[in-house]
Structures are given as C-alpha cells and as structure tokens.
Amino acid sequence: MATTENLNIDEIDKKYNLRPFVEATPSDTAAEVIQLNSLDLSLFQEGPDFLDQRKKLATQLEESLSTVGFFALVNHGISQDTFDQLRSVAQSTFELPDQEKKKYLSGALTSDTEDRSVSLGAERGAGFKPKGYWSMKNGVKDSIELYNFRDLQQREVYDSSKPYPEIVKAHLPNVVSYFRFIHGNILKKLTILCDIILELPEGYLWENYFKVVDGDSYNSGSGFGRFMIYHALNPEDEAKVDNNWLRGHSDGTAFTFITSQPILSLQIRDYYTGDWKYVGHTPNGLIVNIGDALEFITGAYFKSSIHRVVTPPDDQKNFKRLVIIYFCDPKLPSILDPEPLNSPKLKRLGYRKHDEWERITFQQWDEEKGRLFGRSDVNDAKSDEPNLVLLYGRLHERWHQAEHNFSLEEARKKYKVIENKS
C-alpha cells in the first residue's frame, strides 16, 4: 500500500514551492453571464419529517436538469481551506519539469497516435495529459495540461504499484478524501433528489447505479478525478480556433463536479438559441453538469449540455484557469436507456428509449466516446460544432436537441456524420 507515513510533508511542500494559487480578479467585461440556479445542500435532511423540504429542492433541481443541464451547489460540506489546499497541490503538480511529467503520462503524446486497444487514452488514463495531445480545427493543437486520478473509490488507489509524483503522493490522502466525499455524500444526496423528480423510491438511483461496492470495480459506481490547467494559445492559433481553448462538447459520464472560479472562460450553449453564455462564479461553490449517461438513462429528459472553454476577457488574460473536476460514472453494466428505471414521471411525459438507440451499457458508451474527443477527423470542422459521430444509434454529441424533427436522417443530409464501425 502506498502511504505517506515515511514522507516529510513539510519538506516536500518546500521542495515543490507549495503556495496559494492566485485566482483571477473579477472581470469588468460587459459579457453576458448566466447565473446558474444555486442548490443549497444544507437544506437536505433525511427522514419522513423533511420530505417536503427535499421535494422543494427536487423541484428546484428539476428546472436545471431538464433545461440547461447545469447548476451550482453551495453549502455542500467542503471548506474553502480544502479547495485552496487542492489548488495549491495542483499548481505545484503542473510546475514539475516536463521530463518528470513524462514519467507519469496517462497515454500517448497525441490522441491520433493512441493505441486504444491497450490504453484508456490521456483523457481518462491515470497521470498527465500533455499539451498538444488533442487536435483542434485548422491544424491547431490544444494547450491544456491535466492530471487524472483513477480507482478513487477503491482501495487500489493506494496500491504501491501505482506511480505518483512525489508532490501528489504526499497529498494523496487529502485528494482521495475530497473525491470520495463528493461521491459518497454530495452525489448520494443529488441522486435522492433525482429519485423524487422521477417518482422513484428514494435510494433507487444510488443503489442501482452509483453505490460503491468495495473490491468489485465492475459492479460499483465510480468516477475519476482531475487537476486541469489551461495555458493560453498563441494569438495566431487562437484566431484559427475562434478563441476556443476547449471546444464545445458534452461529457460522457453521469455528473461532473467542477470547482467554481472567477475567471470568465466556461460557457454553456443555449440549446434553444444556439447562443453561448459565460457561467458566473459561485464563491466556494461547485458547478455541476449532467453527462450523456444520465441523459440516456432518463430518455433525454435530463440534458447533457454542450459547453466549452474560451479565451478569458482582456482584464483576466494574465491569470490561469485551474480547476479540480470529478467525473462521476454509473456502474459499468448500467443500461443507458429509461426502460430499467420504469419511471412513472418519464412515462407520463413521453420520454422513452428512442427507436434507433441500440441497447448498450455505460461501459460500451464510455469506451467508444472516450476515443473521439481529440481525434483530428472529428474536430477539424468548419464551425463550432465538431463532425458528428454515430455510436450505437446515438450521436456522440447532441447539438440539435431543440430543433423540431431533427433526426439521424436529417443529420446525414446537413452534416458530416462519421459512422462508427467499432
């Protein structure tokens, strides 16, 4: 077991110049900012005496999940000190020399050269994804670094065979504790509120999709954690990608938890207008969005929203965007359509398995979608939208949900659709 018992944490922190991460000062830009619905988790209490209170929270949550697919969490139980400490560790992790980082790569040096038969790829594998791994449009490569943590909900995360940089190993217990709290406490409460929305017995989603089963990764709810830092592109490349640092996309997982930050860079695409809007900052908050898995499980009642990261306003360009992210996965054999739910709410509203959807598991979707994000043939498109990929009867990203009668047939007429052969 990898432990910190024989590590001198203070000396390691001094060695790697552990210090507070400097957040951006608020921008004076006049850009349109969307203030997400803010869910106060301190109001969540279990037991029959507090059912009405949970129903009120569920109603508030439903408005977000069925429209923008994003919301903010406050009073969630994580202290500002915890956020600050994790940002400091992440900052020092990304300041390691490139030669040191190469000892802990999560995949190949580029997505197009990744052997997906033996690798999760740098998007999902444990360790560093280097800058330039993803292809963007017009031949531009990304300028993002990330460090992924796998097996967070299982004992294997501490296995001595798992290599960690010294600064990461020194703070691994705190990192793991943070991600486990999100899954075991915050996520569990959210799934109960979703049960209420879907008119299911409280605890149904948790027990059947997200509950952690110790020692059984296949049948356990899980997720992976990430440190992520955005470096500015050079002006010529920024112009070629229309100031996008991370192209518009949906997440393949069920829920994504992101640390909120004041730098204006994260944007949500409005399904109904196609407009992009900045996400406002929620101090000491978490920004949460729905991923594909939960959209499919609810027959598209919950929306896996398209979002992107763009160049910040001029008065924030001298600051870094550094985020701590937790991608929450349902158990691998979970069926990604609403039939197993048998939700009275979804039936009444007419949300069901689409005729063209093949019956698939989360494992199938996760593996196939995970191969696509940085591929040049997917991303080298003329517009904001990547070329569409058909996976198991479903488009890998749904940019046109609000368009009347939009179908696979219409998509093939209007857009380049890559037919996945896997």
Ranges of each domain in the chain: 9-376
The Cα 151–Cα 224 span in angstroms is: 7
pLDDT score, position 371: 79
Long-range contact pairs involving 369-372 (C-beta distance under 8 Å, separation at least 24) = 369/252, 369/292, 369/396, 370/120, 370/121, 370/123, 370/124, 370/252, 371/114, 371/116, 371/121, 371/422, 372/396
Range of 196-200, 311-315, 401-405 with top mean pLDDT:
196-200
pLDDT score, position 250: 93
| Residue 352: other Cβ atoms inside 10 A | 14
Res. 198 pLDDT band, cuts 50 70 90: very high
pLDDT score of 67 more than 50: yes
Please report, rounded to a whole number, the percentage of residues in the chain having pLDDT higher than 90.
73
Q: What is the mean pLDDT of residues 155-178?
A: 92
Crossing angle (nearest 10°) for helices 188-198 and 51-65:
90
Buried b (16+ CB within 10 A) or exposed e, 114-137: beeeeebbbbbbbbbbbbbbbbbb
As given in the structure block, the two tokens for residue 343 are: 């939700």
Give pLDDT tens digits for 244-276: 999 889 999 999 999 999 999 999 998 788 889
Please report, rounded to a whole number, the percentage of residues in the chain having pLDDT higher than 70.
97
Residue 342 CA, chain-centre distance (Å), reads 27
Q: What is the mean pLDDT of residues 354-383?
A: 86
The Cα 349–Cα 345 span in angstroms is: 6
Q: When comparing pLDDT for 411 and 138, which is higher?
A: 138
The Cα 242–Cα 83 span in angstroms is: 32
Q: Given strand 417-419, what is the order of strands in its sheet?
A: 394-395, 388-391, 417-419
Return the amino acid letter for 308.
R
The Cα 262–Cα 207 span in angstroms is: 36
pLDDT score, position 114: 85
| Contacts (Cβ under 8 Å, ≥6 apart) of 324 | 83, 86, 87, 90, 178, 225, 226, 227, 228, 258, 259
pLDDT score, position 117: 75
Element (H, E) at 55: helix 51-65
Q: What is the mean pLDDT of residues 103-126?
A: 86
pLDDT score of 2 more than 60: no
Q: When comparing pLDDT for 371 and 345, which is higher?
A: 345
pLDDT score of 21 more than 90: yes
Q: Which of 415, 380, 377, 375 lies closest to 395 in space, CA to CA?
A: 415
pLDDT score, position 1: 44
Q: What is the mean pLDDT of residues 138-162?
A: 91
pLDDT score of 364 more than 70: yes
pLDDT score, position 119: 79
Q: Residue 174: phi, psi to the nearest 5?
A: -70, -40
Distance (Å) of CA 82 to CA 86, 88, 231, 291, 402: 6, 10, 24, 26, 39
The Cα 316–Cα 314 span in angstroms is: 5
| Contacts (Cβ under 8 Å, ≥6 apart) of 144 | 129, 131, 134, 228, 229, 230, 231, 245, 246
Alpha helix ranges (H) inside 112-231: 166-170, 172-181, 188-198, 204-205
Q: What is the mean pLDDT of residues 401-415?
A: 71
Q: What is the mean pLDDT of residues 379-398?
A: 84
Q: Which of 65-69, 120-124, 324-328 has the lowest mean pLDDT?
A: 120-124
Return the amino acid letter for 81.
D
Buried b (16+ CB within 10 A) or exposed e, 228-251: bbbeebeeebbebbeebbbbbbbb
Beta bridge partners of 8: none
The Cα 403–Cα 409 span in angstroms is: 13
pLDDT score, position 405: 66
Range of 50-54, 121-125, 374-378 with top mean pLDDT:
50-54
Buried b (16+ CB within 10 A) or exposed e, 72-94: bbeebebeeebbebbbbbbbbbb
Crossing angle (nearest 10°) for helices 172-181 and 80-94:
130
Reading phi first (left if > 0) and then psi (alpha if -120 to 50, else beta), residue 151 is in left
Per the prediction, the chain carries an average pLDDT of: 92
Instruction: Please give the CATH architecture assigned to the domain spanning 9-376.
Output: Sandwich (2.60)
Res. 408 pLDDT band, cuts 50 70 90: confident
Q: What is the mean pLDDT of residues 129-153?
A: 92
pLDDT score of 3 more than 60: no
What is the residue-wise DSSP string for 123-143? TTSSEEEPTT-SB-GGGPBP-
Q: Which of 46-60, 155-169, 215-229 has the lowest mean pLDDT?
A: 155-169
Q: What is the mean pLDDT of residues 40-44?
A: 98
Q: When comparing pLDDT for 238 and 402, which is higher?
A: 238
Q: When comparing pLDDT for 274 and 164, which is higher?
A: 164
Q: Output the CA angle 238-137-246, nearest 5 degrees.
A: 60
Distance (Å) of CA 363 to CA 112, 148, 249, 312, 333: 22, 19, 19, 35, 6
Please state the pTM of the whole predicted model.
Answer: 0.94
pLDDT score, position 404: 62
- Strand ranges inside 236-338, DSSP E: 244-249, 255-259, 266-269, 276-279, 286-290, 307-310, 321-329
Tokens 């001094």 appear where? 14
Q: Which of 211-215, 288-292, 348-352, 373-377 has the lowest mean pLDDT?
A: 373-377
